[in-house]
Amino acid sequence: MLDRGAADVQAGVAGGFDIRRLSAQTLVLIWDVPTRLWTSPQLEAVEGKLPAPMVTLRLPLASGGTRLLWALRAPQDAGLRLHAYAGALSSGAEVAIEPDTRFGALDVDALLDDLTPASRLSLASRMLQGWPGLFGLHRSRTFTGLIHRFVASLVETPAAVRAVAKIGDDRLVMETALPATFGKIDDVFVVAPNGFARLGGTPHLSGTDGQGRRAMHLVMDHAMLRDDGFVVVAGAQGLAVRRMAQARQVPDLPAWWRQRATMGSGLYEHIVAALATGTDSDARAALEFQLRCPLQPQRVTGGNGLPAAEIDVALSGPSGLFAGGWFSDPTDLVDGLDVLDGDGGYRPLDDNMHRFRGHANRDGETVEATGFVAFLDTQEGAAPLLQPRFLLRLASGARYLMVPPRQPVDPSEARASALRAIPPQHLGDDVLTGCLAPTLGALQEQHRARVGIDAVKTIGQPLDNPEISIVVPLYRVLDFLRVQVASFAADPDIAERGELVYVLDSPEQAEEVEHLMHGLHLLYGLPMTLVVMNRNGGYSLACNAGARTARGQVLAMLNSDVIPSGPGWLATLAARLEGDDGAAAVGPKLLFEDGSIQHAGMYFARDFRGQWLNHHFYKGMPGRFAPACVDRMVPAVTGPASSCPAPSSRMWAGSRRITSSETMKIATSASRSAAPATASPMPPMWSSIIWSAAPYSTMPTTCAAWRRATTPGSMPGAGTTP
């Protein structure tokens, strides 16, 4: 039974009730009844209004009785008379509570006396996470001190939980042990004299050791570590209290992991996942940990009729997990593939796995194999898991662990890795939309976020108000730069009306290119602007950076290997944009070195697999081929040589999507000879009304329009092959 502690209670106590204070505004009514109650007790207001909220807790006693608790707001203005009823076998009780009554603090030893283990667990759960939120007790010093005394009284001599690794200055990895019979962990709380909090996430439990214990690890803030603090672990089977213990020397996370090489990789993933959901500093620490302490790659070797398998690509990120690899199964034993999580669970990859036939190298021997790519939606945090673990699942139920090599961190390298995961001949719509699209889209967003302008260098004295801006992206190959600048210098229109903006997408060449441009300026007197990117971002991002920097009202986008065949071309392009037919972009005819046509407008048509591809009108025909030498409307013009109004380009440059011009650049470069292409004489020139505008903009609304337009006959030239 409870020690009523009558000396601590001033007034307002009657019957068998004990009233104690949880905080200045919250009381707990305690009533012990001699029998076990199987129904909920009743508390009614005889005088006054029953306060809300009010919580009832029924706690069985080891001696056979029941301890009843009611937590409620203390009356503020008027007194209360309450009547409690605990069933037919127990008499009722009444208590009066006046607003000015002062009640003593809760005696935790008396409260815990005679409680069963299940009752202690239930009481701890209510005090740690039920009552604080309901009554606003987190900021109450009275309740905070009460919680600390309560936890300290639960176990006479609790075991220790120690800091074993530090993560920067703010986070710690804590370690303790639980009995193997403890079961599933539901909640973990940190309790100190000055506060308490529930830890997010679930700790990691290792396998059972020889002494019947399971190591438990958790990540928490360094500020929570106190010598007089506790960690409370709550589970369905019980409650574990651990006393915090300071350590003199705590190694950093990589050093600790290297010292504990026998620890399972499940803990490795758990730590990475715990950090990834924290601050940006935590995510960086998770990335550094994986780079400094990579897991040992592992594959299934097979042989003697047994299956072999290997994971080559495993890219995890915000969109999900993209995996690629191969398996050889000569005796038809493979049932599927699973991905492991940090807590030992696994999820099958079979629902979105695409297989293809091929060959693999197994220990220097080429064997027939089944290649695959798969995509799985996950809940990854800010830091990618560089080595997700997989299980090869056999029909017998056996599972074999596979660990891929450490995956690339740089988004552009990861993007290239994903593109290499499946041969082009096996790329179908299902693979593109189900696997590659979400992966590449997320990687491109990450890549784009890291790319920006590092420096803008002005060489010479540019025009104050240029009418036309020529934007030329540069990437490593500078072979044609001298010839191109010389052709620009020979055109009076450029000197009088235009500006030259070169965008260097290979910043490691910045010093070399700036030196070269200074020399060209001294030679020709033509002012130029050099935009240096902070990293290689790709063709479209370089073009967009140039468009943002350009000051002219008309933008002319050129590749560095496009050489005008004569002067006057810029004025002709600009004038054609000012026509009354609504032309959105204008492009010239491009010729190969031998004079044949490389580009005279573009159209879209399906290939033999039904996929839409872009094609160039009259490609390979003689440069003077008559149908190519007239102004006409076409569905599209190519990115390497086109012009458009500057406001449109700047609007596109602010978009977050990938522009189609990058795709067009890849397509045209693959068919172009090593020699520079040249622009056709001006006039004639070939204009384009872009009916949908989407292939050259990145606006979501126009993208939808482009999809509607890509049906045979919906655009000029569509579905035909000139």
| pLDDT tens column, 583-592 | 788 888 899 9
For 144-167, what is each residue's pLDDT tens digit? 999 999 999 988 899 999 999 999
Give the residue carrying structure tokens 């929570």.
Answer: 224
pLDDT 10s digits, 542-577: 999 999 999 999 999 999 999 998 898 888 888 888
pLDDT band at 298 (very low <50, low <70, confident <90, very high): very high
At 260, is the pLDDT very low, low, confident or very high (cuts 50, 70, 90)? confident
Q: What pLDDT does residue 692 have?
A: 25
Mean pLDDT in the chain?
83
Dihedral of alpha carbons 232, 234, 237, 238, sign: positive
**pLDDT higher for 95 or 307?**
307
645-669: burial string, b at 16+ Cβ within 10 Å, e else? bbebbeebbeeebbbbbbbbbebbe
Q: What's the pLDDT at 70? A: 93
For range 612-639, the mean pLDDT: 90
Q: Mean per-residue pLDDT for 608-631? A: 90
CATH of span 6-114 = 2.60.40.10
Per-residue confidence band for 665, with pLDDT thresholds at 50, 70 and 90:
very low
Residue 153: closest CA among 103, 111, 190, 118? 111
Lowest mean pLDDT across 5-9, 72-76, 690-694:
690-694
Bridge partner residues of 303 (DSSP): 306
- Number of other residues whose CB lies within 10 A of the CB of residue 409: 13
Predicted pLDDT at 79: 85
Is the pLDDT at 499 greater than 60, yes or no? Answer: yes
Q: Does pLDDT of 283 surpass 90?
A: no
CA–CA distance from 670 to each of 412, 475, 663 (Å)? 20, 16, 11
**Chain mean position to CA 517:** 41
Residue 362 confidence (pLDDT) above 60: yes
Q: Answer for the pair 67, 119: CB distance below 8 angstroms, yes or no.
A: yes
**Mean pLDDT, rounded, for 243-272:** 85
Could you please state the CATH topology (level 3) that the domain comprising 155-291 is classified under: Immunoglobulin-like (2.60.40)
Helices H / strands E in the chain, number of each: 18, 37
Q: What is the pLDDT of residue 428?
A: 86
The least confident of 110-119, 282-291, 351-360, 687-696 is: 687-696
Q: Is the pLDDT of residue 711 over 80?
A: no
C-alpha dihedral over 404, 387, 323, 660, to 10 degrees?
Answer: -120
- Predicted local confidence at residue 2, as pLDDT: 36
pLDDT of 339 reads 94
Mean per-residue pLDDT for 285-314?
Answer: 93
Per-residue pLDDT for 294 more than 90? yes
d(CA 138, CA 149): 15
pLDDT tens column, 114-150: 999 889 989 998 999 889 999 999 889 999 999 999 9
The whole-angstrom separation of Cα 333 and Cα 24 is 68
Residue 706's pLDDT band (boundaries 50, 70, 90)? Answer: very low
What pLDDT score was predicted for residue 382? Answer: 57
- Name the CATH superfamily, with its identifier, for domain 454-709: Spore Coat Polysaccharide Biosynthesis Protein SpsA; Chain A (3.90.550.10)
pLDDT over threshold 70, residue 704: no
Contact indicator for 60, 122 with CB cutoff of 8 Å: no
Strand duo 554-558 + 468-474: pairing? parallel
pLDDT surpasses 90 at 42:
no
User: Regarding beta strands 159-167 and 238-245, do their DSSP bridges make them parallel or antiparallel, or are they unpaired?
Assistant: parallel
Q: What b/e sequence results for 5-19 when a residue is b if at least 16 CB atoms lie within 10 Å of its CB, and e otherwise?
A: eeeebeebbeebbbb
> Is a pLDDT exceeding 60 seen at residue 693?
no
Comparing 12 with 100, the larger pLDDT belongs to 100
Q: Which residues are CB-contacts of 690 (< 8 A; sequence separation ≥ 6)?
A: 584, 585, 635, 636, 637, 696
- How far apart CA 517 and CA 567 sit, in angstroms, is 21
Count the residues in the chain. 722
pLDDT attached to residue 66: 92
Whether the CB-CB separation of 31 and 17 falls below 8 Å is answered with yes
Residue 710 has pLDDT above 60, yes or no: no
The two three-digit tokens of residue 351, written as one number: 């629902």
Q: State the pLDDT at residue 657.
A: 32
The mean pLDDT value for 41-57 works out to 88
Split at pLDDT 50, 70, 90, the class of 302 is confident
pLDDT of residue 648: 56
Range 594-602 average pLDDT = 91
pLDDT in tens, 383-436: 689 999 999 999 999 999 999 999 999 999 999 999 999 998 898 889 999 999
Over range 695-700, report the average pLDDT. 26
> Which ranges in 194-277 belong to alpha helices (H)?
253-259, 265-276
